[in-house]
Amino acid sequence: MTKTRLKTVLQSGTFIVAPGVFDMFSARVADRVGFHALYMTGYGVSGSYLGVADAGLVTYRDMVERARTIAEGTSVPLIADADTGFGGLINVRQTVRGYEAAGVQAIQIEDQEMPKKCGHTPNRRVIAAADMCRKIEVAVDARANADTLIIARTDARTGLGLDEAIRRGQEYAKAGADIVFVEAPESEDEFKRVGDAVDCWLLANMVPTGKSPVVSAANLTAYGFNIAIYPSAGMSVVCAALESSYGHLKKNGSTDGSPVPAYTMAQLHELTGFPDVWEFEKRFAET
Sign (positive or negative) of CA dihedral 69, 116, 20, 26: positive
184 contact partners, CB below 8 Å, separation of at least 6:
119, 120, 155, 157, 158, 205, 210, 211, 212
100 contact partners, CB below 8 Å, separation of at least 6:
107, 143, 144, 145, 148
CA distance 106 to 37: 10
Q: What is the pLDDT of residue 119?
A: 60
Chain-centre distance of CA 277, in angstroms?
Answer: 31
Sign (positive or negative) of CA dihedral 111, 115, 118, 122: negative
Let me know how long the chain is: 287
Domain boundaries, the chain: 6-238
Q: What is the pLDDT of residue 3?
A: 87
| pTM flag (> 0.85) | yes
| Closest to 73 in 3D by CA, of 109, 102, 36, 49 | 102
Q: What is the pLDDT of residue 286?
A: 67
Q: What is the pLDDT of residue 124?
A: 83
Domain 6-238 has CATH 3.20.20.60: yes
Q: Which regions of the chain are under pLDDT 50?
A: none
Name the phi and psi angles at 38, rounded to 5.
-120, 155
Q: What is the pLDDT of residue 121?
A: 67
22 and 4 in contact (C-beta within 8 Å)? no
Q: What is the pLDDT of residue 15?
A: 98
